[in-house]
Chains A and B, each alone.
Chain A
Amino acid sequence: MKEELFQEKIDKEQKIEPKDWMPEDYRKHLIRQISQHAHSEIIGMQPEGNWITRAPSLRAKMILLAKVQDEAGHGLYLYSACETLGISRQELVQQLHDGKAKYSSIFNYPTLSWADMGAVGWLVDGAAIVNQVSLQRTSYGPYARGMVKICKEESFHQRQGYEIMAEMAKGTKEQKEMAQDALNRFWWPSIMMFGPQDSDSPRTGNAMKWKIKRQTNDELRQSFIDKTVGQAEIIGLTIPDTDLKWNEKTEHYDFGEMDWDEFWNVVNGNGPCNHQRLAHHQKAHTEGKWVREAAKAYAKKQELVTQ
């Protein structure tokens, strides 16, 4: 009965709020998805943080700093949304450290050159935006509101990345090669960010029924590819997929087969940077312990003073 009322509400496009009754599986699915999303924002600071000290100009450095700070903010919005489901921030971080919670595999690839900052902003943030725009209509209120806020801030991220790519593509021969190389390395991992094909995505059914997800992995991937091909053409770079071509009939781009062995390999912890990313997070967390303790001691002292 409760479950029917719940589904009725979802079908009427009403939002579910933290204090509303919800099926346990709905709650679990959300905790998994939102925490994975939050961890991705936080771990996602690392590949870009790698270039802050080596940004080629003061302008580039300020922009990169602002972008990384936004990502920390997005992680916090998402942790907050996740906490409304009855799990604490400390538990969420613990799950990340224990390897029980995942983050997007894209951040397990290294950022080898400055052009990678362009590719990450343009492609990785671009793919994230397609996903997040869709999630603004997700059925869980706090998640939907977080997405609205994130989408507002995210479009600068993609534009600054595309600007870097465009600048390098019209620069010297070496610069153009760097841009093309970054596109070559980030293209396939970016389109794999949308996850497995619908036919291999066992949880999609419930997620669609409960309107946690509003579009399937394949729909979102297609939408990203359709948007991005033209952008590559304008700046004179080539997407590394020989099967990519416009299909008059479907009015979408056809594209080649993704390397799913590589995808699962990285998901399962064997990507180039899996170990490094997690170890860095753990180290920062452990080394920050005294700061958290000092803050707490200070708060306690303040209470005594004002009493």
Chain B
Amino acid sequence: MIEKTIVWEVFIQSKNGLAHKHVGNVHASDKVMALENARELYTRRNEGSCIWVVKAEYIVSSESEDSEAFFDPSNDKIYRHPTFYTMPEGSKHI
């Protein structure tokens, strides 16, 4: 019989104040083991100040094949960017 293990995705905050960033995954049977395995695998050289682990099965991803259609709604809204607007000549700090 093939033994199955749970896969956990690992996110590391490299230092206080920064966002957690995805670094990879670990196999573990429970959350404490997942955290400890993540520490041993991804922070052997002071890479982190905080670790998140989340079961991989809970991550929902968009499909790369549909990415064009999926992200299409934002393509034609250039007025969302500050460079869209004309500022009066000589205006400053804006």
Footprint of B on A, CB under 8 Å?
17, 19-21, 66, 69-70, 73, 76-77, 80, 83, 88-91, 94, 146, 149, 153, 292, 295-296, 298-299, 302
A296-B2 contact, Cβ under 8 Å, with A19-B64, A20-B64: no
Report the nearest B residue to A81, measured CB to CB. B24
List chain A residues, Cβ under 8 A from B93. none
Tell me the complex Cα distance, A146–B25, Å: 11
Report the nearest A residue to B10, measured CB to CB. A80
Q: How far is the CB of B3 from chain A (nearest CB, A)?
A: 6
Q: Verify if B41 is at the interface (C-beta below 8 Å from A).
A: yes
Tell me the complex Cα distance, A46–B14, Å: 32
List chain A residues, Cβ under 8 A from B7. 83
Q: Verify if B61 is at the interface (C-beta below 8 Å from A).
A: yes
Contact A80 B25 (CB under 8 A): yes
Which chain B residues (1-43) contact chain A, with CB distance < 8 Å?
Answer: 2-5, 7, 24-30, 33, 40-41
Contact B2 A292 (CB under 8 A): no
Contact A302 B30 (CB under 8 A): yes
List chain B residues, Cβ under 8 A from A94. 2
Interface size on B, residues (CB 8 A): 21
List chain A residues, Cβ under 8 A from B80. none
List chain A residues, Cβ under 8 A from B29. 292, 295-296, 298-299
List chain A residues, Cβ under 8 A from B92. none
List chain A residues, Cβ under 8 A from B89. none
Tell me the complex Cα distance, A180–B63, Å: 56
Contact A77 B24 (CB under 8 A): yes
Tell me the complex Cα distance, A34–B62, Å: 26
Contact A89 B26 (CB under 8 A): no
Q: Verify if B45 is at the interface (C-beta below 8 Å from A).
A: yes
Contact with A along B35-66 (1 / 0, CB 8 A): 00000110011000000000000000101110
A73-B41 contact, Cβ under 8 Å, with A19-B63, A80-B25: yes
List chain A residues, Cβ under 8 A from B26. 76
A70-B3 contact, Cβ under 8 Å, with A19-B61, A21-B65, A76-B26: no
List chain B residues, Cβ under 8 A from A292. 3, 5, 29
Top 5 closest pairs, chain A to chain B, by CB? A299-B30, A295-B29, A299-B29, A90-B2, A296-B29
List chain B residues, Cβ under 8 A from A66. 44
Contact B64 A17 (CB under 8 A): yes
Report the nearest A residue to B30, measured CB to CB. A299
List chain B residues, Cβ under 8 A from A70. 44
Report the nearest A residue to B28, measured CB to CB. A295
List chain A residues, Cβ under 8 A from B63. 19
A89-B30 contact, Cβ under 8 Å, with A17-B64, A76-B41: no
A69-B64 contact, Cβ under 8 Å, with A80-B24, A88-B4, A89-B27: no
Q: How far is the CB of B61 from chain A (nearest CB, A)?
A: 7
Contact of A69 among B3, B24, B30, B44 (CB under 8 A): B44
Contact A73 B64 (CB under 8 A): no
Tell me the complex Cα distance, A90–B2, Å: 7
Contact of A298 among B24, B30, B40 (CB under 8 A): B30
Contact of B2 among A76, A88, A146, A302 (CB under 8 A): A88
List chain A residues, Cβ under 8 A from B4. 88, 90
Contact A295 B33 (CB under 8 A): yes
Contact B2 A153 (CB under 8 A): no
List chain B residues, Cβ under 8 A from A302. 30
Tell me the complex Cα distance, A90–B26, Å: 14
Tell me the complex Cα distance, A77–B61, Å: 21
Which among B26, B28, B64 has the highest number of chain A CB atoms within 10 Å? B64
